[in-house]
């Protein structure tokens, strides 16, 4: 019996029942294992990629200047985004607290939980941004007028003060001994050199500063513009932070093995704790020190109260060296105005820094970095040498994260060898025997 064409088409449909449905589903990449040809060429491919990567790295070093120019262009374009990320990171703890406080109220009156959460977060973000703007505007209204008066007085009085000091040095009568004559000649040459600098180099520098004033104004306007855009960006980041966090977590699990992904997420969380605790705590600590410095200088009737307080408060953000960086130029300014008050200021600033280092700082910061004093100094010098002022601030938490990662690696290797992980166990009396077991000397056991 001859089959009709319709019957043939029906059989084909039975063999492939739903052809379009297969493409509707998301297919998966199937790994059937390496072929013989692939196994043969594996070593050659490794050699090729190593050589190619070395060549690319060599040419990248030759073009490092061009690459740095491209990098800074990208940074300049993304400046509003960077502002937004920084603002969102600093405001996130405040947003969390406000959201946690108002969330029960909205959940009580709004049946849909998601809607209540979105409304609570929106209000928390709005309150946080308004609070930030109020703090900035309030500080500017208090600081700028006083700062302007201090700088204006400094400009008008500093030349006269310097001339007075130079005249006093010239009037010093020294004996006719060899040491006295050398000291007198040295003071004379120093005075003439300084006066020459005031008349020539300082005037040239003033002209350069005045000529670049327009560029400075444009830069300030652009910074304010980027800051305002950053506020808008920060609002979007804070509102969608859970989504961004989930997407990042999904990508980490997609590209890394489970054990590597979990370690990456753990280090990320720990880094957030270190950076957040250090930066926010340091800002609060520096603000308190600036206020205390202002009150102390005002009570002691010091000159340049606002200017010195701003210098001390801002430089206090830098760990360890910050107090000294701010105190030295401030002490010089006050000493030029009144030597007696300069001595009082030095004593006051030493007491203030002792209060900060022993009471205020530990209460606010605690042991957020986990670094000893040596590693703090090391990270400040390294970060400052590589990245300047920003490196001095960010060097400590960055090195703390690196220190934590190295500590994890060392502890895991010790655990695999079944050795103790605490550093206290590796004193002069302890050792590991030939069998790989931890042991302590008899003298140490007797002491215990």
Which of the four pLDDT bands, split at 50, 70 and 90, describes residue 251?
very high
Per the domain annotation, does 236 fall within a domain? no
* Domain-located, residue 432: yes
Dist CA 231 CA 90 (whole Å)? 12
Tell me what pLDDT residue 81 has.
92
Please say if the pLDDT value at position 309 is more than 80: yes
Asked if residue 53 belongs to a domain, the reply is yes
The answer to whether the CB of 95 falls within 8 A of the CB of 123 is: no
Contact call for residues 231 and 84 (beta carbons, < 8 A): yes
3-state secondary structure (DSSP) of residue 432 = strand
Tell me whether residue 65 is in a domain.
Answer: yes
Whether pLDDT at 4 is above 70: no
Report field, pTM of the whole predicted structure over 0.85: no
Residue 26 has pLDDT above 90, yes or no: no
Report the helix count and the strand count for the chain, using DSSP H and E.
17, 2
| Beta strands 438-440 and 430-432, pairing class | antiparallel
**Residue 440 maps to a domain:** yes
Within-domain flag for 52:
yes
User: How many residues make up the chain in this entry?
Assistant: 448
Residues 6+ positions from 440 with CB-CB distance below 8 Å? 429, 430, 431
Residue for token pair 């509102």: 239
Provide the token pair at 444: 């140490």
Strand partners, 432: 438
- Name the pLDDT band for 19 (thresholds 50, 70, 90): very low
Read off the DSSP letter of residue 429: T
Classify residue 431: in a domain, yes or no.
yes
For the stretch 187-237, pLDDT in tens is 667 666 766 666 666 556 655 655 555 666 677 788 888 999 999 999 999
The last residue of one of the domains, among 77, 92, 120, is: 77
First vs last C-alpha separation in the chain: 103
Q: The domain containing residue 55 runs over which residues?
A: 48-77
Residue-wise over 191-219: b if at least 16 C-beta within 10 A, else e? beebeeeeeeeeeeeeeeeeeeeeeeeee
Report yes or no on 12 lying in a domain.
no
Total of domains in the chain:
2
Angle between helix axes 213-239 and 202-211 (nearest 10 degrees) is 50
């Amino acid at each position: 019996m001859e089959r009709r064409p319709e019957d043939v088409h029906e059989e084909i449909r039975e063999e492939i029942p739903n052809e379009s449905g297969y493409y509707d589903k998301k297919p998966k990449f199937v790994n059937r294992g390496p072929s013989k040809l692939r196994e043969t060429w594996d070593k050659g491919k490794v050699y090729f990629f190593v050589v190619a990567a070395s060549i690319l790295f060599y040419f990248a070093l030759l073009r490092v200047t061009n690459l740095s120019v491209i990098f800074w262009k990208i940074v300049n374009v993304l400046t509003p985004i960077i502002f937004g990320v920084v603002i969102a990171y600093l405001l996130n703890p405040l947003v969390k607290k406000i959201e946690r406080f108002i969330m029960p109220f909205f959940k009580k009156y709004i049946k849909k939980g998601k809607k209540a959460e979105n409304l609570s977060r929106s209000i928390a973000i709005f309150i946080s941004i308004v609070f930030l703007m109020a703090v900035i505007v309030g500080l500017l209204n208090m600081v700028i007028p006083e700062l302007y008066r201090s700088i204006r007085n400094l400009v008008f009085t500093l030349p006269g003060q310097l001339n007075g000091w130079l005249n006093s040095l010239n009037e010093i009568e020294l004996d006719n001994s060899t040491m006295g004559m050398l000291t007198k000649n040295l003071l004379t040459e120093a005075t003439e050199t300084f006066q020459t600098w005031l008349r020539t180099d300082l005037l040239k520098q003033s002209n350069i500063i005045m000529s670049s004033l327009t560029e400075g104004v444009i830069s300030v306007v652009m910074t304010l513009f980027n800051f305002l855009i950053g506020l808008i960006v920060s609002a979007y980041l804070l509102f969608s932070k859970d989504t961004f966090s989930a997407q990042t977590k999904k990508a980490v699990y997609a590209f890394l093995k489970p054990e590597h992904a979990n370690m990456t997420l753990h280090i990320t969380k720990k880094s957030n704790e270190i950076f957040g605790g250090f930066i926010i705590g340091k800002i609060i600590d520096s603000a308190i020190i600036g206020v205390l410095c202002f009150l102390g200088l005002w009570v002691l009737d010091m000159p340049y109260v606002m200017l010195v307080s701003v210098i001390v408060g801002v430089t206090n953000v830098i760990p360890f060296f910050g107090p000294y960086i701010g105190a030295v130029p401030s002490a010089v300014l006050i000493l030029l105005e009144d030597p007696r008050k300069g001595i009082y200021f030095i004593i006051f600033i030493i007491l203030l820094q002792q209060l900060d280092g022993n009471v205020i700082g530990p209460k606010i910061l605690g042991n957020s970095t986990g670094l000893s004093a040596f590693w703090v100094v090391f990270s400040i010098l390294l970060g400052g040498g590589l990245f300047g002022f920003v490196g001095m601030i960010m060097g400590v938490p960055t090195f703390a994260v690196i220190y934590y990662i190295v500590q994890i690696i060392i502890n895991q290797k010790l655990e695999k060898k079944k050795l103790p992980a605490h550093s206290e166990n590796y004193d002069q009396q302890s050792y590991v025997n030939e069998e790989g077991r931890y042991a302590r000397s008899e003298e140490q056991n007797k002491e215990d």
